[in-house]
Structure formats: C-alpha cells, structure tokens
Amino acid sequence: MKILISAGPTIEKIDPARYISNFSSGKMGYALAKSAKSLRHDVVLVSGPVSIKEIHGVKTIHVESTADMACEIRRESRNADLVIMAAAVADYRPAKFAEQKIKKSNDKMILELEKTEDILAWLGRNRRKSQTIVGFSAETENLIENAVKKLKAKKIDWIVANEIGKNDRGFSSDTNAVTLISKKGDTTEIPLMKKEKVAQRILGIIGIKEAGRV
C-alpha cells in the first residue's frame, strides 16, 4: 500500500521575524509513519517544522505553511491508498505578509487573519473510491461530539478523537490516549500508552496488515 501521513504543525508567517503556529510536536504522525513502515508499506510523510529525525526508508517532504502542505498532500494523495492527516494544520493565516519587520508602535495591535484551506475536507471531496481517509480531531471539550461532527462534515472514513491540553496526551507528550471512530459509528478507545503503541493500534483497527499478508 502507499500510505500518506501528515505530521507536526504548520506555521504562518506574519513578517520576516514572526509567525503563528501551535504546540504540535509531530510525535504522533511520526509514530504512525514508523509503524506503517515497519509493516513494510510505501510511506510518504509530509511534515511541518518539528525537531524529530527523519525515519529511515520513509520519504519525508518538509513544509512550513498550510498552503505548502496542501500542495504536497494534493499531489502525493493521487496514488495513495490510505491518507492520515495527523498534522495540526493552522486554521488561519495573516491576511497579508509584511515584507518588512512590523515595528512596535501603539499599545494594541490588530492582526487580520484569513482562513486557510481545509486539506482534509479537500481529500474527502476528491477521494477515489478505494481510498481510506483518516483525520485527527484535537479537542479540549466535547471530545466525541466534536470529532463525529468533523468526521461527517469532512466526509472521511475514520477520525481519531484526541484530547489536548493535558500533560500525558495530545500535542507534545510521548504518550497519548485516543478514541477511534468509524463513519459507521464504531468506537474504539485506546487507553494511555506510548505514541508508538497508539500508532500500531490505530493501524490495526483500520485494518492495515503487514504488506503481503491477506
């Protein structure tokens, strides 16, 4: 199988000195890529800026902005059998990039933002029949309800409901606890464990076996 995975944050530049982003470390996406590779699949990883070493044998494409990630995912998804969007994609970017460093003047400053493209929703709209699409849902409240809404709105096959804002799960920890929900409504809880183990469990639940095995 060709498996395409996104990982890490995206960053949106304000001026040559500054950007907006989020706390994603990329650990969950890299763990998924490593697990998929160890099952001997052909893995492509589109990674936002992270401080994790590349995985041997995994083609890694480094990007910064949501627009760059969208471009790479659109291209690589053409022949992917499975796409997992584990990246924490920035929802908004500055409406205008300031070519020169913005100088400090007034006590308050308003930064105008515009929506970025929703890559996962694009994948849901443009999928091939045989393609499986998995999203993540980063939430601080109403975990399952919000995840199900995203699963339906983005027309994907699976969503990983992932609580953030706690020390032992979510963005920067080495462990995670998630709930995997299918479009049919099947729900599987994966309790707190190392992100590598969570990754193996996710791939197992969505039916990814070792290459060559039926």
Query: Which stretches of 116-174 are assigned E, i.e. beta strand?
Result: 132-139, 158-163
What is the spatial distance between Cα 60 and Cα 43, in angstroms, rounded to a whole number? Answer: 9
Q: Which residues pair with 188 in a beta bridge?
A: 180
Q: Are strands 92-94 and 82-85 parallel, antiparallel or unpaired?
A: unpaired
Site string for ligand CTP, 23-62 (x = CB under 6 A): ----------------------------------------
135 lies in the binding site for ligand CTP (CB under 6 A) = yes
202 lies in the binding site for ligand CTP (CB under 6 A) = no
φ/ψ region of 108 (left if φ > 0, alpha if ψ in -120 to 50, else beta) reads beta
Q: How far is the CB of 114 from ligand CTP (least distance, A)?
A: 12
For tokens 């001997």, what's the residue? 40
Task: Map the footprint of ligand CTP across residues 144-183, applying CB under 6 A.
Answer: 150
Site string for ligand CTP, 82-101 (x = CB under 6 A): ---x-x-x-x----------
Among positions 66, 132, 173, 176, the unique one binding ligand CTP when judged by CB under 6 A: 66
